[in-house]
Amino acid sequence: MVLYVTSQECMGRPGGRVVAALRPENGSDGASHGLWCFVCCQRRPSLTLASCPTLPRQGPQVQNGPSQEEMDLQRRQLQELQRQKEIERERQERERQEKERQERERQECERQERERLERETLERQERERLEREAQAEREQMEREQQERAEREMMEREKEERERQEKEQQEQLDRDQQDWERGRRISNAGECCLHTHKYVSTQEGVRRLT
């Protein structure tokens, strides 16, 4: 059996076709057991298939190995496979970058949200502190105003009591003076009446005598 193998490395060279022949090994017991060996020879002008000692006879020739078209197809398939792998790698890289971008955006949003909450908390606490201080100041002012009003009212009440007591005392003094004056007048009148009666009695006595 004769096999013709086309090799890419031998293309374009004279005698680039390689002839492969299978035959029983000479002087070997393997011939009786169906063992075969592989013998290669390169065709040269001085060497022909007819003169090749390894070929007892020329049998039907069979084309073995890929043809140029098959090799081109395999090369294109390999290139396409590599291109698909590169596309898949790029897709995975884009997905990884997109996930990282989304994760960074999420973390940034969370950070901004935390800062906003902290800022609002601080602002609220500051407002509450100012409101408490203002409320305490208002309450202090109200207490001071109330105490001042109470003091003023107590002073007015005291002055009013003192005025009333003074008026009452003055009225009592006037009444006492009026009573004493009336008593003196009454006493003086009674004294004059007794004196007049006595004088009249003496005069009557004198007349009778």
For residue 42, how far is the Cα from the chain centroid? 80
Which amino acid is present at 125? Q
Each residue's pLDDT expressed in tens, for the chain with a length of 209 residues: 334 334 434 444 444 444 444 444 444 444 444 444 444 444 444 444 444 444 445 555 555 677 888 899 999 999 999 999 999 999 999 999 999 999 999 999 999 999 999 999 999 999 999 999 999 999 999 999 999 999 999 999 999 999 999 999 999 999 989 898 888 888 877 776 666 666 666 666 666 66
Residue 80 tokens read as 């396409």
Q: What is the pLDDT of residue 30?
A: 46
**Residue 189: predicted pLDDT:** 73
Cα dihedral 74/80/84/85 (nearest 10): 50
Beta bridge partners of 5: 18, 64
Q: Give burial (CB, 10 Å; 0-12/13-18/19+) of 183.
A: exposed
Cα distances (Å, whole numbers) of residue 169 to 16, 163, 176 = 158, 10, 10
Residue 44: CB partners within 8 Å, gap ≥ 6?
15
What's the pTM?
Answer: 0.36
